[in-house]
């Protein structure tokens, strides 16, 4: 494990002696992962895979996947994407050297993947053999007025399971390859986004387990892994007891959970929230620091209900709040297992976790 030098390193060492909460990082590139490790992250708490798909040499295949007319067409595109995804995950597993890595399956606002320019449509047309006009019709069908509440997260996996199947295969192939090469067997934690119901997770877990079984049989190796879910919708928090029958871990996605609990768009919130804070309606910007009496209450309730079903359920937080000291104190109070923050906030999170643990001891 790389160490931070000098007084800073010593201070972090003291913090680590007293903190109970584990600190992970939100990281999806090799650079993020290396930075996270330098700052002392004890794993990746959120690897957002959609960012990988914007890579310029993949985006045409991604558009092909989204605009394909049927499963066969999608599978042609997915076959092109599989080796790239496998390489993404191999690199991350290598850098994280056996530390836990939570990989979240695709959660795109679909419109971000759709072509807009003529030449983008032309590229997809030449890759698929589908005419530009037909592609434009399909893109128009997929258009959504409210993409953040639309066909994203596991809804994509439910309608097109082959996408999650490809990603799960890439995760397990990479994990087996890295285990064989380094002896540091990764323990992948495969995370399903935007789950609202037990059945959604059950369907997606079946896809993931099937991919794991197939890869382990092909490679002649079996690795441990977990399948869990983001809790980022109020319904998921309320139904956490049922969802924990299927999910082996929960990670609280407080960005979406704040958006959906407060009914405030996370992308437009700045427009009036400062006035709201000035007038004392919210004590702080709820997208920065947990709205303890609202979103926090839902998290606490979900943690309780999840634990009641599955005593050893692993609980973490991976929204922006995972790097906010006041929110970290709240997470300590309700006994989460870890917080996950952007790599540069890992040291702050380590300190905040230590302060929270000390305060809890004094109380």
Active site residues: 318
Residues in contact with ligand PEP, shown as a per-residue x/- string from 318 to 337 under the rule CB under 6 A: xx------------------
Task: Kindly tell me which of 108 and 347 has the beta carbon lying closer to Mg ion.
Answer: 108
Minimum CB–partner distance for residue 194 and Mg ion (Å): 7
26 marked among binding-site residues:
no
146 marked among binding-site residues:
no
40 contributes a contact to ligand PEP by CB under 6 A: no
- Binder of residue 189, out of ligand PEP, Mg ion, none (CB less than 5 to 8 A by kind): none
Residues in contact with ligand PEP, shown as a per-residue x/- string from 201 to 240 under the rule CB under 6 A: -------------------------------x--------
Footprint on residues 101-160 left by ligand PEP (CB under 6 A): 107
Encoded tokens for 83 = 């080796």
132 close to 121: Cβ distance less than 8 angstroms: yes
Encoded tokens for 259 = 């958006």
Footprint on residues 240-299 left by ligand PEP (CB under 6 A): 253-256
The residue whose two tokens read 């609280």 is 252
| DSSP symbol at 296 | I
Q: How many chain residues interact with Mg ion (CB under 5 A)?
A: 3
104 marked among binding-site residues:
yes
57 marked among binding-site residues:
no
Task: Return the residue nearest Mg ion (CB atom).
Answer: 256
Task: Kindly tell me which of 29 and 255 has the beta carbon lying closer to ligand PEP.
Answer: 255
Encoded tokens for 315 = 């609980």
Encoded tokens for 274 = 């400062």
- Binder of residue 319, out of ligand PEP, Mg ion, none (CB less than 5 to 8 A by kind): ligand PEP
Given candidates 46, 125, 211, 354, which one binds ligand PEP under the rule CB under 6 A?
46
What SS3 class is residue 234? helix
Instruction: Write phi, then psi, for 276 (nearest 5 degrees).
Output: -60, -40
- Binder of residue 20, out of ligand PEP, Mg ion, none (CB less than 5 to 8 A by kind): none
Task: Kindly tell me which of 104 and 169 has the beta carbon lying closer to Mg ion.
Answer: 104
232 marked among binding-site residues:
yes
Contacts of 103 (CB under 8 A, 6+ apart): 44, 47, 49, 89, 92, 167, 171, 188, 189, 190, 191
Footprint on residues 243-272 left by Mg ion (CB under 5 A): 253, 256
Minimum CB–partner distance for residue 105 and ligand PEP (Å): 12
d(Cα 196, Cα 240) in Å, to the nearest integer?
Answer: 9
d(Cα 175, Cα 168) in Å, to the nearest integer?
Answer: 11
Of 81, 82, 98, 95, give the one whose Cα is nearest residue 29. 95
| Strand bridging mode 338-341 / 314-317 | parallel
- Binder of residue 254, out of ligand PEP, Mg ion, none (CB less than 5 to 8 A by kind): ligand PEP
199 close to 229: Cβ distance less than 8 angstroms: no
What SS3 class is residue 46? strand
235 marked among binding-site residues:
no
Minimum CB–partner distance for residue 42 and ligand PEP (Å): 18
Footprint on residues 17-56 left by Mg ion (CB under 5 A): none
d(Cα 277, Cα 285) in Å, to the nearest integer?
Answer: 7
d(Cα 189, Cα 191) in Å, to the nearest integer?
Answer: 6
71 close to 162: Cβ distance less than 8 angstroms: yes
Encoded tokens for 5 = 């030098």
Task: Kindly tell me which of 197 and 355 has the beta carbon lying closer to ligand PEP.
Answer: 197
Can you say which residues are annotated as belonging to the binding site for Mg(2+)?
Answer: 232, 256
Residues that bind Mg ion (CB under 5 A): 232, 253, 256
């Amino acid at each position: 494990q790389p160490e931070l030098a000098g007084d800073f390193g010593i201070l972090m060492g003291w913090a680590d002696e007293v903190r109970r909460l584990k600190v992970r990082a939100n990281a999806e590139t090799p650079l993020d992962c290396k930075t996270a490790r330098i700052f002392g992250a004890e794993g990746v708490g959120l690897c957002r895979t959609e960012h990988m798909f914007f890579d310029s040499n993949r985006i045409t295949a991604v558009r092909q996947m989204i605009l394909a007319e049927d499963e066969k067409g999608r599978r042609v595109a997915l076959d092109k994407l599989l080796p790239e995804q496998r390489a993404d995950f191999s690199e991350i597993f290598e850098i994280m050297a056996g530390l836990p890595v939570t990989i979240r399956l695709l959660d795109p606002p679909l419109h971000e993947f759709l072509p807009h320019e003529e030449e983008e449509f032309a590229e997809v047309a030449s890759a698929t053999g589908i005419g530009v006009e037909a592609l434009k019709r399909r893109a128009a069908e997929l258009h959504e007025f409210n993409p953040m509440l639309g066909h994203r997260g596991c809804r994509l996996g439910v309608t097109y399971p082959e996408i999650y199947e490809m990603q799960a295969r890439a995760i397990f192939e990479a994990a087996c390859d890295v285990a064989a090469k380094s002896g540091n067997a990764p323990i992948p934690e495969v995370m399903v986004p935007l789950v609202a119901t037990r059945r959604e997770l059950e369907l997606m877990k079946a896809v993931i387990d099937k991919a794991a079984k197939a890869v382990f049989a092909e490679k002649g190796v079996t690795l441990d892994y977990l399948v869990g879910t983001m809790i980022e919708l109020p319904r998921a928090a309320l139904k956490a007891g049922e969802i924990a029958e299927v999910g082996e871990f929960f990670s609280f996605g407080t960005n979406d959970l704040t958006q959906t609990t407060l009914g405030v768009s996370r992308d437009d919130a700045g427009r009036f929230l400062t006035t709201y804070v000035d007038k004392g309606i919210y004590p702080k910007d709820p997208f920065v620091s947990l709205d303890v009496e609202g979103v926090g209450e839902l998290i606490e309730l979900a943690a309780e209900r999840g634990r009641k079903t599955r005593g050893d359920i692993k609980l973490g937080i991976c929204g922006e709040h995972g790097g906010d000291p006041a929110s970290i104190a709240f997470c300590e109070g309700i006994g989460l297992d870890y917080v996950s923050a952007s790599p540069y906030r890992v040291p702050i999170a380590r300190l905040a976790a230590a302060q929270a643990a000390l305060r809890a001891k004094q109380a």
